[in-house]
Amino acid sequence: MDSTSPSQGSASLRNYALVTAAYWGFTLTDGALRMLVLLHFYTLGYSPLEVAMLFLFYEVFGILTNFGGGWISARFGIKLTLYGGISLQVLALLLLIPVDRSWAISLAVPYIMAAQALSGIAKDLTKLSSKSAIRLVIPQNAPSTLFKWVALLTGSKNALKGIGFFLGGLLLGTLGYVNALLAMAAGLCLVLLSGVGLPSGLGKIKAKPSFSQLLAKSREINLLSAARFFLFGARDVWFVVGLPVFLADTLQWSFGQVGGFLAAWVIGYGAVQSLAPTLLRRFGAGGPPQASTIRFWTGLLVAIPAAIALALQSDRPAAPTLMMGLLAFGIVFAFNSAVHSYLVLAFTPDDEVALNVGFYYMANSGGRLIGTVLSGLMFQAFGLVGCLWTSAAFVLIAELITLKLPNPRSRQAVAR
């Protein structure tokens, strides 16, 4: 590794701070764009399945980006992938401006899907860059510190995405569709200026990786990636389309109420994620997470969407049922996500970080893809209850996969 070894102290921390700040700025617009597109085009008469299809290429190209993005980052550095991603997001925002009521749905859907493809590439380039950077400033012999920093980064990102959800609903209601897109594009142009202080060599490795290394992963990374696929599919299968459409259509909530509620949920989820290391210590976990940690939290999560579905099927009041259910789901999912994000780095040596993180988040994007499509399909066919039962089944599969996961310390002992 070149200029990014952990021993360089303050320089490495400065570089990581620049990467994180850029990622935070991007995350605000990513959350806002998701809510803006969902609410705007649903009110134009698009069906839940058509709304879900608008995000199809966002997830498909996220998979492709994670597949090759780690290789690009390892060869050319994190700066290229980070600020290239932000530039693509600006372009995606501008491309969405011409779409209005005069466009036929048959023309608008593929066009919006193409613009969302650029946004999906942008999102995963920036995520890959920031998640890889943290491995370069924390030594492998400091697992508790790594867990703390990973949880803080991931939690703060999700909190900002939640603010972005609120921002998207607010901008749509106050500025309108076109002006909201222009405002977000202008904000990202300011974020691009932060790239001046970031060295171009950050994240490069001396031995250039071959393209075949993209699929040559350890058993631990493969298992963790498979579990991640089903875990995030379980979240998005009811959260992406089913829940916001249910709130707007069935409960008759306004744009601001839908955006504000989802924002509050994601912010709270991010806060719990950031505090996960501290909370786990208070629960009695004395060291960094092990395989048993993720098995416990994934197993606990299985029951929550099933319980919400049963309550709705029993004609319990929908609003309080969803409020309590989402609170429980958000807390438990936050622990799952925090431990997952730590484990992928704990299983990864420094010289494979970009490649392994890219592969891992490729699985994450795959789960989001299947979850997004099924969210629209299941909601249209079976309502929110159908989405929730699918979510419970996905979490159960993730739990079964984690049963085969070893402890990180066992892997490190073998390496020594």
- Among residues 137, 157, 170, 130, which one has the least CA distance to residue 39? 170
* Predicted pLDDT at 411: 41
Q: What is the pLDDT of residues 179-232, one digit of tens each?
A: 999 999 999 998 888 766 666 665 555 555 555 555 556 788 889 989 999 999
Token reading at 119: 């946004």
Residues 6+ apart with CB under 8 A from 380: 47, 48, 49
* Predicted pLDDT at 316: 92
Spell out the domain ranges in the chain: 6-195+213-415
* Predicted pLDDT at 108: 87
Residues 6+ apart with CB under 8 A from 176: none
* Predicted pLDDT at 354: 64
Q: What is the C-alpha to C-alpha distance for residues 275 and 281, in angstroms, rounded to an integer?
A: 10
Token reading at 131: 């998640």
* Predicted pLDDT at 333: 92
* Predicted pLDDT at 17: 76
Q: Are 311 and 325 in contact (CB under 8 A)?
A: yes
**How many residues would you count in the chain?**
416
Quick one: which H or E segment has residue 48?
helix 48-54
Superfamily of domain 6-195+213-415: MFS general substrate transporter like domains (1.20.1250.20)
Q: What is the C-alpha to C-alpha distance for residues 363 and 226, in angstroms, rounded to an integer?
A: 7
DSSP letter, residue 206? S
Which residues of the chain carry a pLDDT beneath 50? 1-8, 410-416
Residues 6+ apart with CB under 8 A from 79: 195, 198, 199, 200, 202, 203
Identify the burial level of 309 via C-beta atoms within 10 angstroms of its C-beta, where 0-12 means exposed, 13-18 middle and 19 or more buried.
buried
